[in-house]
Structure 1
Amino acid sequence: MIVVMKRGVSEQAIQRIAQRVEQLGLKAHIIYGTERTVIAAVGDKRNHERETLESFEEVEKVVPILAPYKVASKETKPEPTIIKVLDLVLGGGNVGVIAGPCSVESEQQILESAHKVKAAGAKGLRGGAFKPRTSPYAFQGMKEEGLKLLAAAREATGLAIVTEVMTPHHVELVAKYADILQIGARNMQNYHLLQAVGEIRKPVLLKRGPSATMEEFLLAAEYILDQGNQEVILCERGIRTFETHTRFTLPLATVPYLRERTHLPIVVDPSHGTGIASLVAPMCAASVAAGADGLIVEVHPDPQKAVSDGAQSLTPDAFVFAMEQSRKVAHALGMTM
């Protein structure tokens, strides 16, 4: 249920209603909107609870949430959520760009990457310190040393750091260094991990699983939101289909579909979505045209020497071109990039 508070009610009144929601055996999520405040009351719905809440003078109305995902639903919060981390802004007409190598490989590599993607217009730096790999013999990342190098790159450039966390017991460690915690596609339905990042008050970039439906994707986001972390970024990174001409199939209809159903910002990953460097720039522009709030792109100083995902990584010059093309589309649509 959504408890819609009357305009101008005091914070004390809001907290009193939220406490009453909890006393009824429901979980209260207070959402402060631009015009009014609502309280999402999540749990089993029973008519007497609705009637009880509607009896308070400060409450304008109580309405059911029809979507299975409650806090993520646009029914709960019609206004788009805007996430700001340092100079990176996602949502509200801003197209934020996160770029960098798949893996942190060395101090020189990550610092060079950071400086070059910033010069091209990126506001966030991606780079894996912990790397989930299909083969147990593949490079698994530099771990905490990689996190320290990412922090050094932020110190040198001011870019917001986005990096993946793989297990619940790594959450506090990664949060110590990162500005945005990434949940990879393989972990989209790792519910213990989702709950763990939900308890950390840092933004979370949630990647869609390669076989996940939209409802499963949004319910995964709901796990994070349900723990009280309201800063969730949805990332479309391609799904597995029968096609073999690209690494995955990148369904950009995801973007406007999600826009109709959730207030959360939506980012597209055309690097994983195609797996082919030459396709990344046009898919960046197409993602912006579809209404994406951001892009996350793999960029490496020398992709041929990358220890992972070199085939889909852009050179710094190719990234400059991709940014130029995407910026033209963004400006044509009245968005800032």
Structure 2
Amino acid sequence: MIIVMKRNATEVQIDHVVHWVESIGYKAYHSKGTEQTVVKAIGGERGGEELKYLAALSGVEKVVPIRKPYKLTSREAKAEDTIVRIGDVRVGDGTFTVMAGPCSIESEEQLLESAYIAKKGGAQILRGGAFKPRTSPYSFQGMEEDGLKLLAKAREKTGMPVVTEVVNPADVDLVEAYADILQVGARNVQNFALLKKIGQSRKPVLLKRGMMTTIEELLMSAEYILSAGNEQVILCERGIRTFETATRNTLDISAVPVLKELTHLPVVIDPSHATGHWKYVIPLSRAALAVGADGIIVEMHPQPEKAFCDGAQSLKPETFYELMEELKRMEYLLRATERVLV
């Protein structure tokens, strides 16, 4: 249920509503807008019938039911877009955010070179994997804490915030100490123990869609994070598994407008994992911008042919610069067109 408070509701009245909601077994989340305060009542075991009496409480304007199973994530719970803040970077504020860097951190030289390339090209956030969940137990698993330390060094050198994946609930505190954004990969999208733990973090989260995860299941995974208290979540479409074998996965570009309709959370695209080949990254990045995504996360490596993993889908520096120039031109044209139409 959404309890909309009157514009002139006092702090005492808001606190009374929150305490009343919690007294009957619900969790209460309240957010203050520019004009009104909204209290969200989530959970409970009695079907919500008792919440209708909230309308009679002092300071309450109306009570609105949330019909979606993902209560906090839905547009019904919050009509305006969520803007995720990472230092000076804003994801979801109408600008197009680019996260770029190597799939895995291999050495200090490799990561710092990648960071400088990403910075020079105009990316706002540096990506790099310190922990790598791999299909084969014999594949490179990442540099772990040593890799996290290198990420922190790259941030210090370039001023760019960093995003890296967490694969184990036991590692959340460690990764949080170094990273600016905690990434949940496709294989862990329904690792509920991890989602709950990350939900207790105060760091923003990049949540990737699973290879066989429906849009509703993705939003329910986000709900685990929000219900644990962390509202700074970015959703990521990274391709789903279909019968097609021409690409590594099939990018569900239609997921962007669908998600934009269903949720207030920002949405980004991962064209690198979607196709598994660098030559498709630029056209799919253009598609992401055109369809209304809030940004992209791409893999870029100084020498892809020597990469420890996913070299085939990693952009070379010169191709990355080409991508960034194309996106700048396209974003300028889109914004100019919007101004003319308005």
| TM-score after normalising by structure 2 | 0.95
Residue of structure 2 in register with 1:93 after alignment: 94
Distance 1:331 1:35 in 2: 33
Mapped pair 1:318 → 2:314: no
Tell me if structure 2 keeps the 8 A contact 1:299–1:319.
yes
Distance 2:21 2:93 in 1: 31
Count of residue pairs the alignment pairs up: 336
Mapped pair 1:238 → 2:236: no
Tell me if structure 2 keeps the 8 A contact 1:33–1:79.
no
Residue of structure 2 in register with 1:111 after alignment: 112
Distance 1:161 1:227 in 2: 23
List per-residue Cα deviations over 1:252-272 (Å, max 9, x = no partner). Answer: 100000000100000100000
Runs of 4+ in 1 over 6 A off after TM superposition: none
| TM-score after normalising by structure 1 | 0.97
Q: State the Cα distance separating 1:47 from its structure 2 match.
A: 5.4
Residue of structure 2 in register with 1:136 after alignment: 137
Mapped pair 1:282 → 2:290: no
Residue of structure 1 in register with 2:14 after alignment: 14
Q: State the Cα distance separating 1:327 from its structure 2 match.
A: 2.0
List per-residue Cα deviations over 1:81-102 (Å, max 9, x = no partner). Answer: 0012123221121111110000
List per-residue Cα deviations over 1:177-228 (Å, max 9, x = no partner). Answer: 0000000000000000000000011101000000000110000000000001
List per-residue Cα deviations over 1:290-334 (Å, max 9, x = no partner). Answer: 100111010100000000100000011111111111222222222
Tell me which amino acid in the other structure corresponds to 2:19.
Q
Q: What RMSD over aligned residues (CA atoms) do the two structures have, in Å? A: 1.4
Tell me if structure 2 keeps the 8 A contact 1:33–1:77.
no
Gaps spanning 5+ residues in structure 2: where? Answer: 337-342
Distance 1:121 1:8 in 2: 45
Residue of structure 2 in register with 1:62 after alignment: 63
List per-residue Cα deviations over 1:70-115 (Å, max 9, x = no partner). Answer: 0000001000000121232211211111100000000011011001
The alignment partner of 1:334 has SS state of helix
Tell me if structure 2 keeps the 8 A contact 1:94–1:293.
yes
Distance 2:251 2:48 in 1: 43
The alignment partner of 1:235 has SS state of strand
- What is the aligned-residue identity percentage? 56
Mapped pair 1:176 → 2:177: yes
Tell me if structure 2 keeps the 8 A contact 1:72–1:218.
yes
List per-residue Cα deviations over 1:102-129 (Å, max 9, x = no partner). Answer: 0000001101100110111111000000
Residue of structure 2 in register with 1:221 after alignment: 222
Residue of structure 2 in register with 1:5 after alignment: 5
Distance 2:234 2:84 in 1: 8
Gaps spanning 5+ residues in structure 1: where? Answer: none
Distance 1:332 1:292 in 2: 16
Tell me if structure 2 keeps the 8 A contact 1:102–1:128.
yes
Mapped pair 1:254 → 2:255: yes
Tell me if structure 2 keeps the 8 A contact 1:72–1:222.
yes
Distance 2:328 2:95 in 1: 11
Distance 1:258 1:118 in 2: 29
The alignment partner of 2:66 has SS state of coil
Tell me if structure 1 keeps the 8 A contact 2:8–2:59.
no
Tell me if structure 1 keeps the 8 A contact 2:13–2:58.
no
